[in-house]
Amino acid sequence: MVTSELIIGLAILIFVFVIAVAVLEWITESEGISFAGGIVVVFLVIYLAGGHGGGGVIDPVTTPMSSVQSAVTEIIKGSPTTTPAKALPGSLSPDAKKSKSISKAIDGSNSVVRSFSLNAISSKHGGKYNVQQVCDIYDKLYKSWTYVNDPAVSSDYYADAGESVRLLKGDCDDYAILMASCIQAIGGSPRIVSAHNGNSGHAYAELYLGDKKSEVDNLRKTISRRYGVKSVHCHTSSANGKKQYWLNLDWSANHPGGSFYKNSGEILIIYPNGKYYRENFNSN
């Protein structure tokens, strides 16, 4: 036999269920909470509606829906939403952030990096710093390197030179950082170029050859004879009214002075001391 208490109980249960569904829809749409998080909050609502939350916070008969929403808002206050966080005023620009990370990763004073660099140099190219030593290092690193993508959780992972020299694996950023570090370890002056072409990006190291064209041409002839190539590509920049010549040391160039990455025209130049700037690309 159906009693009045059973009917009232069923009515209250249905009423609470309707409230729970309404609350779930509201918090997932207007408050940015995930569906799973919404279910948790709904259980809290049901718990409170049953009078278990310290004397019965929500009365299913007398409490209007607006009050239910207010109570739920208090429950979820401080919960993370799906809205991405905005950069705080004064935070580093993307160029500054990248330059800081890359310059910090360059380390020509690392003992393992220096050992790798010295072991790569042929005894016939010993003596003071020279371009043949750079070519020896390039050949060793080029043949030893295995390309591996950045971690999936971070598209801007820059391995420091000490890590890369032990593994000899990584992406173009890691190769460029290690190449620059090796050049630095034997007394050369490197820098790193970050370039883009559409949605793809690339990074590579460059070696400073000097600002006197006649001397640079002699160095290019040395490289040309060593690798049996007709062209040795340099990137030209202006500093203090003089044209500077920078040798391409990109892994994808196949040899020092190989063809440059086809960029969109503007590049980001990063120095080991942390300085950086953008310029239009010019080759010679």
The pLDDT profile of the chain, 284 residues, written as one tens digit per residue, is 556 666 666 667 676 666 666 655 655 454 445 555 555 555 555 555 454 444 444 454 444 544 444 444 443 344 333 334 344 556 789 999 999 999 999 999 999 999 999 999 999 999 999 999 999 999 999 999 999 998 887 767 999 999 999 999 999 999 999 999 999 999 999 999 999 988 889 999 999 999 999 999 999 999 999 999 999 999 999 888 889 999 999 999 999 999 999 888 889 999 999 999 999 887 76
What are the φ and ψ backbone dihedral angles of 118, each rounded to 5 degrees?
-65, -40
Alpha carbon distances (Å) from 126 to 129, 132, 281: 8, 9, 34
- Residue partners of 280: CB distance under 8 A and separation at least 6: 265, 266, 267
Amino acid symbol at 165: V
Q: Selecting from 3.10.620.30, 3.30.1330.60, 3.60.70.12, 3.20.20.140, what CATH number does the domain 94-280 have?
A: 3.10.620.30
Query: Residue 41: what pLDDT?
Result: 52
Beta-bridged to residue 246, according to DSSP, are: 208, 235
pLDDT given for residue 249 in this prediction: 98
CB 25 within 8 A of CB 65: no
At which residue do the structure tokens 């800081």 appear?
Answer: 100
Q: Which amino acid, 10?
A: L
For residue 156, the model assigns a pLDDT of 79
Residue with tokens 């173009």: 172
pTM: 0.68
CB 210 within 8 A of CB 245: yes
Rounded to 5 degrees, φ, ψ at 109 are -90, -5
